Structure 1
Amino acid sequence: MQIIRTVPVKQILTETSRAQIKEKFDERYQRLDRECRQLSFEQKKLERKPGVSRQEVERRFSKEIGRRKDQLKWLEYQRKQLDILPDGSELETDEVQALIEVEEGDQWEEVIQDRQIVLRDGKVIRAR
């Protein structure tokens, strides 16, 4: 029988990986910032339409804009933490699903033990 298991993917922090992670943070930050500006534009456009409740439009849009601004703050915090971490630190960057074969007589503790994949500069160095 096979079971599906979530396996964390960890990355060992090096100068190269630090630069790649910062680049991903920057891309995500820019995307969220664009979304905030676009939502503000759409909000102003809808508020000018006749027959539309300004309060309702503002409530809905401010909720979405606020959610994105919270994500922007979280990204800023993560970026600062990335600058603080020393090289060689392990960061959990992703999760993947893995098929695990389970046979009669297998030790359950071995089947469910923590598994993880460790990367260094995009190459798998350990699959434990």
Structure 2
Amino acid sequence: MRILQTVSVKQILTETSKNNLLEKFKHNKQQLKKECDQLLFEMRKMERTRKMVSGSLKSQFDKEIDIRKEKVKLIEFQMEQLEILPLGSELHDQEVQAIIDVQVGDNWDEINNGKTIVVKDGIVTEIRER
């Protein structure tokens, strides 16, 4: 029988992966700022065309802008933490699904323990039993 199991993927921090992560963070931060600007633009546009924006509509715009501003703060925090981390640190990257063969007589605890895949600069360097 085959079952699906979640496998953790960890990335070893190198100079290359650190730079790639910083670029990704910067891109996401810039995208969120663009979305905030677009929401502000749309809100002002509605104020001009309708002459009066309902309170609930304005509060919805404000809520969406605040959500994005919180995400920007989180990204800034992640960037600060990334700068502090030493090279060689392991970062949780993602989780993937794997197909595991299960046979009668297999040790369930070993199967259920799961595995971790360690990646360094895009190359799998290790597969660990948890």
**Which TM-score tier does this pair reach, normalised by the shorter chain?**
over 0.9
- The answer to whether 1:90 aligns with 2:90 is yes
Letter in 2 for 1:43: M
Deviation at 1:43, TM superposition (A): 1.3
The separation in 1 between residues aligned to 2:126 and 2:52, in whole angstroms, is: 58
The separation in 2 between residues aligned to 1:115 and 1:51, in whole angstroms, is: 60
Contact 1:118 1:124 in 2 (8 A): yes
Aligned residues: CA RMSD: 1.4
Contact 1:2 1:99 in 2 (8 A): yes
The separation in 1 between residues aligned to 2:5 and 2:62, in whole angstroms, is: 38
TM-score (norm 1): 0.93
Within a 5 Å distance, the mapping from 1:49-64 to structure 2 comes to 49-50=49-50, 53-64=53-64
The equivalent residue for 2:47 is 47
Runs of 4+ in 1 over 6 A off after TM superposition: none
Letter in 1 for 2:19: A
Q: Deviations over 1:9-64 (max 9, x none)?
A: 11101111100110111111111111111111111112233286431221111111
The equivalent residue for 1:31 is 31
Within a 5 Å distance, the mapping from 1:43-122 to structure 2 comes to 43-50=43-50, 53-122=53-122
Give secondary structure in 2 for the equivalent of 1:49: helix
TM-score (norm 2): 0.91
Aligned residues: 128
Give secondary structure in 2 for the equivalent of 1:35: helix
The separation in 2 between residues aligned to 1:83 and 1:14, in whole angstroms, is: 12
Give secondary structure in 2 for the equivalent of 1:48: helix
Deviates more, 1:24-33 or 1:52-61: 52-61
Deviates more, 1:84-93 or 1:95-104: 95-104
The separation in 2 between residues aligned to 1:124 and 1:80, in whole angstroms, is: 27
